[in-house]
Amino acid sequence: MTPRTVIGEGDLLPSVALVDHEGNPWSVEQHRGRPIVLILHRHLA
């Protein structure tokens, strides 16, 4: 399996399709122009 690329500070975040709490598609691109703080959780315990 080919390891995925890890981006570094200064790199453009590639498009990643996510799903929000209402079941809708969500992506960073939809919010371009606004800073975003991503809090990557460990699990839902």
List residues binding other proteins (CB under 8 A). 4-14, 16, 18-23, 26, 28-29, 31-45
Main-chain phi, psi angles of 28, to 5 degrees: -60, -35
Quote the least distance from Cβ 42 to other proteins, whole Å.
5
Q: Residue type at 42? A: R
CA dist 4 and 37 (Å) reads 22
